[in-house]
Structure 1
Amino acid sequence: MPDMMPGFALTPVSATALFTAACVAGVQYRRTWKADGPLWQLWVYGLIAAGGLLALAFLPLRP
């Protein structure tokens, strides 16, 4: 499969940091949701978690 964006890949360290940030945002989303917190916080945490996981899914990892 051809590389669509040459030179644009995640390193293992950046992928780990992105995964950790997405997990923390997901936990904060759940805590805010369970506590009936403000909707803007749900949007912020949800977008961070979704964006991080989508980036991990679709960006290649550098060996």
Structure 2
Amino acid sequence: MTGVTLTPTLATILFVIACLCGYKYRRVWKAEGPRWQLWLWGVLAAAGLLILGFVPLDLTG
């Protein structure tokens, strides 16, 4: 996967989505909700943050 980069706009959108998923995870966890929802929101938040952490930004565009 050479040449894969994120634009600043896409990175910002991904960050906001990851934050919202983390917020939903926390609400389900505090309410002691269903485990499948914990997994869903937790995996989505983690995936978004991992993508942001390991895919470089394209700041030349």
TM bucket, shorter chain: over 0.9
Q: Deviations over 1:4-45 (max 9, x none)?
A: x43210000110010000000000000000001000000000
Counting aligned pairs with the same residue, the percent is 58
SS at match of 1:46: helix
- Amino acid corresponding to residue 7 of structure 2 in structure 1: T
Match of 1:50 in 2: 46
> How many residue pairs are counted as aligned between the two chains?
59
TM-score (norm 2): 0.92
Structure 2, unaligned runs of 5 or more: none
- What RMSD in Å do the two structures reach over aligned CA positions? 0.8
TM-score (norm 1): 0.89
